[in-house]
Structure 1
Amino acid sequence: MSLLLPALPAYAEGPDYRTHLAGVTPFADPRQRVSTTQAPWSAIGRVQTELGSRCTGFLISPVLVETAAHCLWLTQPQRFVQPSSVHFLRAYSGDKFTAHARVVRFIVPPGYAPNKESLSAGLDHATLVLDHPVARPDEAFHVSTTPDDIKPGMAVVLGGYEQNMPDVITADLHCHMTGLTHDRSGNPLFSHDCAGTHGSSGAPLLYQDASGWHVLGVQVLASSAHAGGQAVPLLNSPGGTSEDPQ
């Protein structure tokens, strides 16, 4: 994808095969392949459209998947894809996956403008409604993180289906949240130093404590020059959402 305005990084959508991997420091790539049979990766899957675009998504209930909204946008003719053309492959790895479902509708926050990412990047996420459950309730992530749980420099992980290895999950297991920023409309974004390139859009930014794995946000942007990117906060303080008007 083309770069955004200089103040923002590049879309972490994929695949986009280039010599330099946005969001990954050259010659110092910490990403490693992880097993989709083990938590937290078993709740992650590939979101793909029948037009060929691919991103990452993750379960927040047996029938709900969270991903980046820009993954569903068609530059031409300037509209979202039809929901029925979107598929979710849970725990996809090579030619195997735990479950497959088709999307029946999706929900995006009001105010998100895919052609004005610098103004609305903090709203760049979408909730996909699947046509049938693909997991048990205890196998999905639960949006339980509160603002009080956020600590400066907290350890996080990020993994998804990235451009140089699009058929397996690769992850940076040793990175940190580096701060809170905002898009040009004031919507918040988490900054992090996790290596994650094109294709990681829609991946969960995760942290672990004694009670298990928790979602912090949805990966949407990768740095154009070094490791790191930005994620839309996904916290237990709900804001309004609106179904895509199709």
Structure 2
Amino acid sequence: MTLPKLRLSALLVAAATILAVPQMALAQANTCRWANDNECDEARYAGTGACESGTDANDCRAEAAAWQRLMAAVPDTVRAQLGSDTCRWANDLECDDPNFGGTGACSPGTDASDCRAMAIGGDNTCRFANDNECDEPGIGTGVCTSGTDVNDCRAVSFLRNRSNSCQTAFNGTCEEPGTGRGTCRPNTDTADCVGRQRPVEARDHFFGNDDRELVDVTQMPWRAVGLLSLGDGSCTGILIGPRLVATAAHCMEGEGGQPSKALSFRAGARGDTDLGSASIISSVVAPDYTENSAPPGGGNGNDWAILTLDRDLGTQVGFVRPYVLTKTDLAEIRTGRFLVSQAGYSWDTGSNLSGHVDCQVLQAYNDGSFIHTCDTTRGDSGSPIMILRDGEWRLIAVDSQFFDAQPPFPQMSSSHLAVDTRAFAEALRSAGALD
């Protein structure tokens, strides 16, 4: 997805203990290539994020002073609880201190700068505040620090810093501390504790209701789905043969347009366990892939990749054979009754596999792609969309990206596009994955 604002998170570098050092120590040098261009580029001061912390001193002098004033305005008792920025996730714009409604990824008192606004009840100090778009992490575009875009994020604030990463999420029972068995960490059992209704403003693509469930990774076809670890992050993939994995081409693109190094594939991953893992030794990416998106139906069938493992993992855990849509299938799609199922490692479920059973393909395009109603979100890139044919699960597409709502479906808050096997049938045949 292309956002209208510069995404800062990939460029953040943790700065040490902002609360504990004087102003002059914060602005250290002008060694960034963008230094002295009259624009602050350090993310810690809500700059563009193009420079690492401490390398754009002159341009960020005013922002550093403003940040000091914001910190000084925090009541002394609250400031003492905020502590320092010693957590590994400090200065990533997302509050991770559980004492201030954060994600819980940091220990209390170690994510001060990211949690400043949350600690005082929120404000509108982000440079993008009051632009009618929520820009906080998790619930918006992610270019504002947690709690600094309160007005724009009001409708979705109940989801701030929440996830479904508990291993018993989606079981219908709230198990966060203070309720039920209390076996989930705070803010990690959202669907069960807050409910499944999702306003359109949440931008997390659940079409008004989160219909996902935590699937059983010991059973087919879910056991063939796996977590793909890359040099620049992670995606979802699926075993389509003894040594072959299908995923999205954009998963293989790293920062700056450079190829991302594919490291490993963990089939049936759940938490720290899995049913088997293997290293990635080679990949075939759509030769005409480009990060530039066309309108739906305008040429997006190139977001696919086929990876080769170093051993026969598919023989061990099972695999899902690809299936190419026929004219009969395309006709059925037009009737509005073509049901499929999807599963992926969503951003909010971490290394737990969530799935949406019996979602619908809305419209198939001639470029080898279709839009669907499966509840996919960040992290689901490359996740399989499957169908039962003659009692066997078959792969028909890998999830790709999302767009604004497309006609004739105005009821959809957004349009989710997947690349189906029509687009890469020849590559599948060459790899021996298609009859």
- Which range moved further: 202-211 or 138-147? 138-147
Distance change >3 Å, CA 222–CA 159, structure 1 → 2: farther
Superposed, 1:41-120 pairs within 5 Å as: 41-51=222-232, 53-76=233-256, 78-82=257-261, 85-114=262-291, 116-118=292-294
Task: Look up the match of 1:3.
Answer: 3
Task: Look up the match of 2:352.
Answer: 168
Tell me, yes or no, if the aligned pair for 2:239 and 2:319 is still in contact at 8 Å: yes
Tell me, yes or no, if the aligned pair for 1:162 and 1:197 is still in contact at 8 Å: yes
Instruction: Please say if 1:157 is aligned against 2:341.
Output: yes
Tell me, yes or no, if the aligned pair for 2:267 and 2:317 is still in contact at 8 Å: no
Task: Look up the match of 2:54.
Answer: none
Task: Look up the match of 2:402.
Answer: 222
- Alignment-mate amino acid for residue 34 of structure 1: V
Distance change >3 Å, CA 158–CA 228, structure 1 → 2: farther
Task: Look up the match of 2:419.
Answer: 232
Q: How much identity, in percent, do the aligned residues show?
A: 25
Q: Structure 2 CA distance, aligned partners of 1:49 and 1:58?
A: 15
Instruction: Please say if 1:209 is aligned against 2:396.
Output: no
Q: Secondary structure at the match of 2:386?
A: strand
**Unaligned regions of 5+ residues in structure 2, if any?**
5-135, 140-201, 406-412
Q: Structure 2 CA distance, aligned partners of 1:165 and 1:36?
A: 14
Deviation at 1:96, TM superposition (A): 0.5
How many equivalent residue pairs? 222
Instruction: Please say if 1:131 is aligned against 2:251.
Output: no
Which has the larger strand fraction? 1
Deviation at 1:25, TM superposition (A): 2.2
Distance change >3 Å, CA 193–CA 60, structure 1 → 2: same
Deviation at 1:194, TM superposition (A): 1.1
Distance change >3 Å, CA 127–CA 94, structure 1 → 2: same
Task: Look up the match of 1:18.
Answer: 138
Deviations 1:84-130 (Å, cap 9, x if unpaired)?
x421011100110111111111001221112x232753110100011
Distance change >3 Å, CA 240–CA 92, structure 1 → 2: closer
Deviation at 1:181, TM superposition (A): 2.9
Q: Structure 2 CA distance, aligned partners of 1:149 and 1:169?
A: 31
Tell me, yes or no, if the aligned pair for 1:111 and 1:120 is still in contact at 8 Å: no
Larger radius of gyration: 2
Distance change >3 Å, CA 166–CA 2, structure 1 → 2: farther
Q: Structure 2 CA distance, aligned partners of 1:64 and 1:43?
A: 11
Task: Look up the match of 2:369.
Answer: 189
Q: Structure 1 CA distance, aligned partners of 2:348 and 2:423?
A: 34
Q: Structure 1 CA distance, aligned partners of 2:392 and 2:322?
A: 12
Q: Secondary structure at the match of 1:71?
A: helix
Q: Structure 1 CA distance, aligned partners of 2:220 and 2:267?
A: 13
**Unaligned regions of 5+ residues in structure 1, if any?**
5-15
